[in-house]
């Protein structure tokens, strides 16, 4: 199976939403209660992604990983830091990165992440951050292998369950 990493387009919304939901269910099954994961819906995520496409920001980037048969199996999105994310201590943020389990450990996540972080550096951002569940050791190892440095922690209620997240910071190579 060949995987192409490319810019997302409006026609990708359903595929991105499907990966978003399935990615949560696969990645967080050991950390979140089953009823929290069961409550996720592709339709809800489609509405969220439609609004992201309706208000594009040229400094943001959304990439998808697509199989040779046209199936979206992963995505990553980053851009200027959002309001309320100051605890990250960075200028930019990786909002989401999800891959289906069936394509993990093939370099696709590295390609998605690199494409988004490179884009942010080209737009003058010197640093980017992200939040990851503290208990998600596989994801934390991935971010650390890419040069991410752990930082602040925060607790919050996620669908009725208290969770702890760890911030990761990436220094970016800015380009004129």
Residue 78, domain member (yes or no): yes
Percentage of residues in the chain having pLDDT higher than 70: 97
Question: What's the total number of domains in the chain?
Answer: 1
Residue 50, domain member (yes or no): yes
Residue 176, domain member (yes or no): no
Residue 18, domain member (yes or no): yes
Residue 98, domain member (yes or no): yes
Nearest-10 Cα torsion for 43, 47, 53, 57: -130
- pLDDT above 60: residue 97: yes
- The domain of 124 spans 3-171
Three-state SS for 1?
Answer: coil
pLDDT tens for each residue of 108-154: 999 999 999 999 999 999 999 999 999 999 999 999 999 999 999 99
Q: What CATH number corresponds to the domain at position 109?
A: 3.40.630.30
Residue 54, domain member (yes or no): yes
Distance in angstroms (rounded) separating the CA atoms of residues 98 and 77: 10
pLDDT tens for each residue of 46-64: 998 998 888 888 899 999 9
């Amino acid at each position: 199976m060949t995987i192409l990493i490319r810019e997302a387009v409006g026609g990708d919304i359903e595929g991105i939403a499907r990966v978003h939901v399935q990615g949560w269910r696969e990645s967080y099954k050991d950390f979140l209660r089953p009823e929290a994961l069961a409550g996720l819906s592709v339709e809800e995520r489609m509405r969220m992604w439609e609004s992201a496409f309706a208000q594009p920001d040229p400094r943001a980037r959304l990439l998808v990983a697509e199989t040779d048969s046209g199936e979206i199996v992963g995505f990553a999105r980053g851009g200027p830091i959002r309001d309320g994310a100051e605890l990250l201590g960075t200028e930019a943020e990786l909002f989401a990165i999800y891959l289906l389990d069936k394509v993990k450990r093939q370099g696709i996540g590295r390609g998605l992440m690199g494409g988004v972080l490179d884009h942010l550096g080209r737009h003058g951002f010197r640093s980017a951050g992200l939040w990851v569940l503290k208990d998600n050791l596989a994801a934390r190892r991935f971010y650390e292998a890419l040069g991410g440095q752990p930082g602040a922690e925060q607790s919050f209620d996620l669908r009725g369950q208290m969770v702890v997240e760890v911030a990761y910071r990436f220094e970016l190579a800015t380009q004129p």
